[in-house]
Each structure stands twice: as structure tokens, then as C-alpha cells.
Amino acid sequence: MKTVIKLLIVFLVIGVVSCRDTKKEETETKTAVEQIEAIETEAEAISKEIEKEVEELENDLKELDNI
């Protein structure tokens, strides 16, 4: 009977430790996803700015060609 109780305690401890690890991993994953989304948003904004500047440069080149 003592062996069964010891085994149950060991399983309980392992269960508690693994739950903590899972919560920690979920938190880390959530943080990483938020960082990736922020980078994607910034990359999209930079891309739009570059496209706008390209259009302006193309317009300027067309004006120069017309001169």
C-alpha cells in the first residue's frame, strides 16, 4: 500500500510540473506570435512606403523624359 501511495505522489508531482511547463510554453509562444505580428505589420508599412516612393520616382522620370 505504501508503494501505491508513493507512486501516486510521484505521478501527482510530475503532473503539476508538466502543467507548469505547458503554461510557460504557451506564454512564450504567445509572446513570440505577438512579436512576429508586430514585425509583419512594420514590414507591410515599409513595403507600402517603398511602393509609394517608387511611383513618385517613376513619375519624375516620365516628366524628365517629356522635357
Residue 23's pLDDT band (cuts 50, 70, 90): confident
d(CA 26, CA 32) in angstroms, rounded, equals 10
Give how many domains the chain has, as a whole number: 1
Phi and psi torsions of 35, nearest 5°: -65, -40
Domain that includes residue 4, residue range: 1-67
Residue 45 has pLDDT above 80, yes or no: yes
Residue bearing cell 512564450? 28
Residue 17, pLDDT above cutoff 80? no
Instruction: Tell me: pLDDT of 20 over 80.
Output: no
